[in-house]
Structure 1
Amino acid sequence: MRAQTQLLSLPNLDALISSSLIGKSTSDTSHGVTVMPFVPTIRSGGFADIGPRRFMEDEHIMIDDLAMHMGSLFRCPNPSAFYGVFDGHGGPEAAAYVRKNVMRIFFNDAGFPESCDLDELFLRGVKKCISRAFLLADLALADECTISSSSGTTALTAFVLGRLLLVANAGDCRAVLCRKGEAIEMSEDHRPTTASEKRRVEEMGGYVEDGYLNGILSVSRALGDWDMKLPNGTASTLIAEPEVRQIILTEDDEFLIIGCDGIWDVMSSQQAVRVVRRGLRRHGDPQQSAKELVREALNLNTFDNLTVVVVCFSSTPDLQQGQRFKCSLSSEALTTLQNMLDANHDH
């Protein structure tokens, strides 16, 4: 059974903010103690592989320090970070275009809020901006004469704003949060066979045949693919509108995996979490863990391009498991063991 995402509804944001769940200290009046809440320390790594395909159509972006990247033009909570994976189809052009222009589209064209206060108004503005950015990217692909109308891309983006994680998805890329070893899915795969997507498609007059939207496309949401969409402003069965999910990060949240469907075609979210967690506990390197996850998918005979980004929320890996092993023998047990070894050596 898939773990359910612990979603934060907007009407509850003020209560969460006032109770210091977003980066502010609180006072325990009964003891006069100031409690500092968990603040993530961001580090990430990514890896991409062409896999068994003839052409690479995946793209990705990783920005661990959004404030430094954007400079004085952008005021945002601390920490702030931005990530994205884009899985192209019908050629690499659409994914490459979105990757190249994603910062302009999100932070200029879509009107990202200038306020850095994590209040309800700011968060509503961010969510509207994210949805608008996906739609603007879709329209830009229609207007770009160098991109074929049959070229498209799925898109998944992840923002970290203080302790808030926002994930937006259109297509079958996936984001998975590891909370104390448990996989929490932060996105839904938009495939034509998914019950809610199939119902939406059929209500719009489309159909699903052999798992494909209108017998053609294996996803029900994507940017581009204008040969399958109706003219601008007209509702289509294939849409670019993302689903946005959000969660407040806690000290139990270890890392986030975002990856294209080449990973999820051959392993579950929990399997991916186990692979990455095992690697991080061994070497602490998110880039190496991303590479190990790609290698595992290849070993499982995936048939697609592979792209993975691993985002850690602490500065050091959890090595407690190894430390417990190293300290599990008492001094008496060590002495007994040494005596046994000495006795064997004498014989």
Structure 2
Amino acid sequence: MFREVFVANVGDCRAVLSRKGKAVDMSRDHKPWCKQERLRIEALGGYIHDGYLNGQLGVTRAIGDWHIDGLKGAGCPLSGEPEVRRFLLSEDDEFLIIGCDGLWDVLSSNLAVEFARKRLQQHNDPARCCRELVAEALHRDSSDNLTVVIVCFQASPPPKFSSNLGVRKSISLQGLKDLQGALDSR
């Protein structure tokens, strides 16, 4: 059975998949520093100044922001056209996090997946996990808008990984001598 996901992205929101606990970016942020976006903008007569589209806007694609002078009309450098990607899901795919820039400004894709995965393992409640991600972003001083959606692809929580490595913690003989010396000198 094939399960497909289509991700349509405009602006600085992002979709991130958890695949066996690893973050997989399913979209690309449309920021002025992105080479493909910069080339598209320059081909349309626009420019990047000080990290901003035409010196005014921090994204290169947007559904809103049409009120900004010089960015509206046919052939303008600000595009409302989404970038669409199609993905086939596997049984290793656990959940998808969709969030706006307020989340991604303070959490990397990897940290967000790690955080959400732990919370889903604890309570398996996607709505609660969204609220916890927003709270974590606020705790990290996010200063932008915060919207988060989690789509789970399994009914059960993400599995905990077991390690068969049998890692042993030990201290060397020299380490023991150094520790004993430090304790004796007190």
TM-score by length of 2: 0.81
Residues 31 and 59 of structure 2 are in contact (CA less than 8 Å); yes or no, is this contact kept in structure 1? Answer: yes
Could you tell me which residue of structure 2 aligns to residue 229 of structure 1? 71
Residues 61 and 81 of structure 2 are in contact (CA less than 8 Å); yes or no, is this contact kept in structure 1? Answer: yes
Could you tell me which residue of structure 2 aligns to residue 92 of structure 1? none
Could you tell me which residue of structure 1 aligns to residue 146 of structure 2? 306
Give unmatched runs, 5+ long, in structure 1: 1-20, 23-162, 325-347
2:4 to 134, 152, 164: 164
Q: Deviations over 1:166-213 (max 9, x none)?
A: 000110100000000111111000011111111211221111111111
Deviation of 1:164 after TM superposition, in Å, equals: 0.5
Classify 1:250/1:237 alpha carbon distance in 2 versus 1 (closer, same or farther; 3 Å). same
Could you tell me which residue of structure 1 aligns to residue 25 of structure 2? 185
TM-score by length of 1: 0.44
Question: Which shifted more, 283-292 or 166-175?
Answer: 283-292
Matched, 1:210 2:50: yes
Deviation of 1:291 after TM superposition, in Å, equals: 1.2
Give unmatched runs, 5+ long, in structure 2: 163-186
Take 1:250 and 1:319, find their aligned partners in 2: how far apart are those partners?
15
Secondary structure (helix, strand or coil) at the match of 1:279 reads helix
Classify 1:170/1:319 alpha carbon distance in 2 versus 1 (closer, same or farther; 3 Å). closer
Structure with more helix by fraction: 1
Q: Which residue identity does 1:249 align to in structure 2?
A: L
Residues 21 and 113 of structure 2 are in contact (CA less than 8 Å); yes or no, is this contact kept in structure 1? Answer: yes
Secondary structure (helix, strand or coil) at the match of 2:147 reads strand
Aligned pair count reads: 161
Matched, 1:266 2:86: no
Deviation of 1:287 after TM superposition, in Å, equals: 1.1
Take 1:182 and 1:237, find their aligned partners in 2: how far apart are those partners?
35
Identity %, equivalent residues: 54
Matched, 1:199 2:39: yes
Classify 1:320/1:266 alpha carbon distance in 2 versus 1 (closer, same or farther; 3 Å). closer
Q: Mapping of 1:99-118 within 5 angstroms?
A: none
Could you tell me which residue of structure 1 aligns to residue 80 of structure 2? 240
The CA RMSD over aligned residues, in Å, is 1.7
Matched, 1:256 2:96: yes
